[in-house]
Structure 1
Amino acid sequence: MTEQVLACIDGSGHAAAVCDWAGWASQRLDAPLTFVHVLDKEPGPVQGDLSGSIGLGSQEHLLAELAELDAKRGKLAREQGRLMLEAAQQRALESGIEQAETLQRHGALVDTLVDLESSTRLLVLGRHGEASASAHAHLGSHVEQVIRALHRPILVTLGEFRAPQKVMLAFDGSATTRKGVEMLAGSPLFRGLELHLVLAGADTDDNRAQLEWAQQLLEQAGITAVTAIVPGEADKALTAYQQEQGMDLMIMGAYGHSRIRQWLVGSTTTTMIRDAQVPLLILR
C-alpha cells in the first residue's frame, strides 16, 4: 500500500495552513496527498420523559420534530465537510499538486487516524481545532491524543504557511531522536535546507560526541548541519534558540518517559507543542 501525506481538515481558521503544509510535504516527499474530514458520530433521536412539562399529547410530536432536526443537522454537517474537502483539494491543485484525494469519515478522530495509520507516511494537523479562535489558544483537545496514539511522524501546524528555510532538530541522544536523525538522512523532506542540531544541556564530552555522530551521519547523506549545545531547561532553551536563530520549523521526539509519568506531570513535548511559535514535526 502506498504511503501518503494525510491532512486533517476541519472548520477552524487554521485549515489553510494545514492544506499548504501538507501540499509542501507531499511535493518534497513525492508522496500522494489525501485530505480527511472526520465527523463525530451523528446523534440519535432525543430520549427522555418530557410528559411532566409538556403533556402527553405533545411529547410524541416534539420527539419526532427533534429527530427530524437531528437528521437535518447531520446532513448539513456532511455537506459542510464535503465543501471543506473540495476547497482544500482545489487549493492544493492550484499550488501545483498534481493529484489530491479527499476522504470523509464518521466516528472519533483518533480512532479514524489509527485505522489509516498503516497507509500514512506523514500526518498533518492544526494545533487548534474549530473551537479555537486564536493561533495562541490552548492546545487542541485531540492533538495530544493523536500524538500518543499514532506511531507516524506528525506535523503540527499553526499560523500562516511559509515554506521553511531554517529547520532545527531538538536532539538529546535518545533512541527516538537518533532514529529521527536517521530518518532525516534518508528523507528528501528537508534536503537543501539549513538544518540545526540543538542539544539542551551541559557542554560535556558525551553530549558533543552525540552531536558529532548525528552530524557525520547527515553529512554522509549530503546534508550540512550546524550543531549547538544550549544550557538550561529543555523547553525554554530550545524555544529561545528557535527565536534567536529564526528557525521556521522545529523537529523533536515525542514523550521520552513512561505513559504514567506523562499523565501525572506532563512532558517537555507537551510544553513545546503548547508554547511553540512555529510548526513542530513530532517523531515517534
Structure 2
Amino acid sequence: MTTNVMACIDGSSHASAVCDCASWASLRLEAPLTFIHVQSKDTTQTKSDLSGSIGLGSQEHLLAELAELDAQRSKLATEQGSLMLAAASTRATVAGVSAPTTLQRHGELIETLLEFEPDTRLLVLGRHGEASSSPYAHLGSHVEQVIRALHRPILVTQGEFKAPEKVMLAFDGSATTRKGVEMLAQSPLFKGLELHIVLVGADTDDHREQLGWAGNVLNASGLDARTHIVAGEVDQALPAYQLEHGIDMMVMGAYGHSRIRQLLVGSTTTAMISNARVPLLILR
C-alpha cells in the first residue's frame, strides 16, 4: 500500500512552498510525510581533470589541491542538504505534522524517486530547481521528467502556498478523467472544499450528461462539487476560469489523446504549469 507523502527539498525559492504544501497534504490524507533531498552526482564527483594539460601533468601537488577542493565542495553540499532537510522537518512539525522523516541521497533525481515510488502516495515538488532565482521562472526540466517517469499523483507548487478553499478539476469525459473523478471521490484530500468540475467545449447534451455523472459521483462522496461548461481553447479557458473564480488549486489528468491531457505533453505542459499561479495536482 502506498502511504507516504514525499516532498522534494532543494535550495530553490520554492522550498518553503513545497514544505507547506506537503504538510497540508500529509495532514489532509493522514499520511506520513517524508522530505527527500537528492544531491546530484555533479556535486560529488571531481569537476576538473587537468592531468593532461600542458604544464600541469607533473604538478601533483596542484592536482591534489584541486581534488581536495572538490571533496570540500561535496562535503559542504551534503551539509547544506542536511540543514535544508532539518529546517523542512521543523517547519512541518510546527504546522502540525507528527514525526516527519528525512532522506538524503546522492545520485539522479528520477532514479531516486523511482526507488521510492512503491511507498509514495503523493509526490510534492517545486515548479523549478534551485538554479532559478524567481518563483515564477521557466519550468524546470525535472518537472516534466518526473511526470513522465512516475505513476503517482504529483503536486507541483510555486511561490507561497496557502491551504486551498476552492479546487478546479479539468474534465473532458474521457476514461482518464473519469478515473480522476473516482480518485478524488475516494480521497480525503479535498473533503469540505469547494470543487469545480470544468469542461472546456460546447454546451451539448452529451457534455452535460458527462458532467452530471462527475458531479453525482463527487457529491455522493461528500464533496461540494459544482459543474461548469466553458467555451474556448483549453490552455486559455482553464487559467481564465481559475482567475475569475478564485481557484486555489488545479487538478488535471496526465497524458492521453484529449485536448486536456495533451497539455501535459511537450511544450504545452511547460506553458500550463509555468503560467499557473496556483498549485497543480497531476493525476496518474
Alignment TM-score > 0.5, same fold: yes
Counterpart-to-counterpart distance in 2, 1:73 and 1:224: 52
Residue 24 of structure 1 and its aligned partner are, at CA, apart by 0.4
**SS in structure 2 at match of 1:117:** helix
Distance in 2 (CA, whole Å) between partners of 1:56 and 1:99 is 52
Deviation at residue 257 of structure 1 after TM alignment: 3.6
Q: CA deviation at 1:159?
A: 1.3
**Structure 1 pair 229–43 and aligned structure 2 pair: CA distance change class (3 A):** same
Structure 2, unpaired ranges of 5+: none
What SS is found at the alignment partner of 1:155?
strand
User: Residue 58 of structure 2: SS of its match in structure 1?
Assistant: helix
Distance 1:44 1:152, change over 3 A: same
Runs of 4+ in 1 over 3 A off after TM superposition: 48-51, 267-270
Q: Structure 1 CA distance, aligned partners of 2:191 and 2:93?
A: 23
- Picking from 38, 48, 66, the partner of 1:46 is 48
Alignment-derived partner of residue 57 in structure 1: 58
Describe the shift of the 1:257–1:267 C-alpha distance in structure 2 as closer, same or farther (beyond 3 A).
Answer: farther
Aligned to 1:197: 197
CA distance in 2, matches of 1:46, 1:160: 38
Superposition RMSD in Å = 1.9
Task: Give 1:34's aligned residue.
Answer: 34
Alignment check: 8 A CA contact 1:169 1:195 kept: yes
- Structure 1 gap segments, 5+ residues each: none
2:117 is matched by which residue type in structure 1?
E
* 1:103 has 2:100 as partner: no
**In structure 2, how many angstroms separate the alpha carbons of the residues matched to 1:135 and 1:35?**
20
- Count of aligned pairs between the two proteins: 279
Give the share of equivalent positions with the same residue, in percent: 69
User: Does the CA contact (< 8 Å) of 2:12 and 2:130 recur in 1?
Assistant: yes
CA distance in 2, matches of 1:243, 1:151: 29
Matched residues in 2 for 1:235 and 1:56: separation?
A: 57
Question: In structure 2, what is the Cα distance between the partners aligned to 1:268 and 1:199?
Answer: 18
Which residue number in structure 1 is paired with residue 170 of structure 2? Answer: 170
User: Which residue matches 1:21?
Assistant: 21
Equivalences for 1:106-185 in 2 at 5 Å? 106-185=106-185
User: What TM-score, normalized to structure 1?
Assistant: 0.93
**1:165/1:51 CA distance change after superposition, 3 Å:** closer
Question: In structure 2, what is the Cα distance between the partners aligned to 1:76 and 1:257?
Answer: 46
- Is the CA contact (8 Å cut-off) linking 1:234 and 1:268 kept in structure 2? no
Where in structure 2 are the equivalents of 1:199-278 lying within 5 Å? 199-257=199-257, 266=266, 268-278=268-278
Q: Is the 8 A contact 2:200 2:232 kept in 1?
A: yes
